[in-house]
Amino acid sequence: MELRPDELLAEWKSGRFRCVYYLFGEESAAKAEAVLQLKRLFNPDDFNLSEFSGDPNTEQSAIITEALTLPVFAQRRLVIVRNPKIPADARSAFAAYLRSANLSTTLVLLSEDRRPDRNDSLAAAAAAAGAICVFAPLTEEDAIKRILAEAKRAGKTMTPEAAAALVDEAGTDWGILSGELEKALLYTGACEHVALEAVSASLGFRKESDPWAFERLISGRDLKPCLAHLREAFADSKPDEVVFRSLAQARGAYLKQLKAKRMLKAGLAQREIESRLRVFRDNDFFGRAQRVSEARLRRDLRRLLEVETDLKSKAWLDVKIELERLVVELCSPACK
């Protein structure tokens, strides 16, 4: 069986715990939070909790032994395998265990894969004996909603513009976003209102920079400033962080342009479009959108998705080189 993250939590809150849960997806922070929730709701004592974070190949015998051990003065035992890279030998051993799993043990496995592979025997065995769950990345809209909800839970009101700025700059990974949100909330102190200025200050932007700099540059397709911006960003941050944040901003820029063109055709006023698309401090947004065709925008969005997929699935690629090559392609005359 496959469960959504919300269904998983609801099941645990109801007091139901299956023999195995296999957690997939790129949202590592959400998976880690789910495991914490499980431990709180399961509430095992030291005799009935085992956690493994080493090499599953060398620890597979110990893991299976723990899973087969009956609980001590309790109804269930919890065994967590935290290493998200499970080699082939360990996968086979765990799959064999699950075909006759101990009904009084809940085994939790983590995976860094986006989704279970159809040929993965361990995933198939987990789905049959218990449940698998995919923690997909938040969409930009969902990330903004969650930021606003978390700010409200902290006793503060936050403007949609401020939440959008966080997402534009930090991406949609909740592990990163939650940290940036905490900084913004701390920065405002006793003030109950979190505005765009507070977010910009807490993110630590240079005075001459702002959250939408790369989005505007890539949508304007001016190659030299784009590459200069990236080189400066690479000097200050890890390449992976810069690359995937830049891809998200480029995708957001082209989606906004595409939507704006369609809204203009439908007769909407520019001010209404700016509000709907959360276009902030950008006087030339509509001018840049007018200079590119819908066909080209659709093509660009496909290329962004292709490159992002390649970078996530082909570890041998140099993320910095691939991003700069893509930027050159997007800023070429054929793209304008």
| Statement: residue 144 has pLDDT above 50 | yes
Number of CB atoms found within 10 A of residue 8's CB: 20
This prediction has a pTM of 0.54
Which residues face 49 on adjacent strands? 78
Which residues face 2 on adjacent strands? 132
Summarize pLDDT for 235-266 with one digit per residue, the tens: 878 888 889 889 988 998 999 999 999 999 99
Of residues 40 and 275, more confidently modeled: 40
Quote the pLDDT of residue 335: 44
Quote the pLDDT of residue 294: 93
| Statement: residue 281 has pLDDT above 70 | no
Per the prediction, the chain carries an average pLDDT of 87
Q: Where are the alpha helices (DSSP H) in the chain?
A: 5-13, 28-42, 56-68, 88-98, 121-129, 140-153, 160-170, 174-188, 196-203, 213-220, 223-236, 239-265, 270-277, 285-290, 294-313, 319-330
The Cα-based distances of 289 to 98, 254, 256, 297 in angstroms read: 55, 9, 9, 9
Of residues 336 and 102, more confidently modeled: 102
Quote the pLDDT of residue 280: 65
Confidence label for 336 from pLDDT (cuts 50, 70 and 90): very low
Q: Are 252 and 215 contacting, i.e. CB atoms less than 8 angstroms apart?
A: yes
Structural domains for the chain:
2-134 (3.40.50.300), 137-205 (1.10.8.60), 212-270+284-336 (1.20.272.10)
Tell me the C-alpha distance between 307 and 127, whole Å: 31
- Our CA dihedral for 214, 150, 192, 171, rounded to 10 degrees, sits at -10
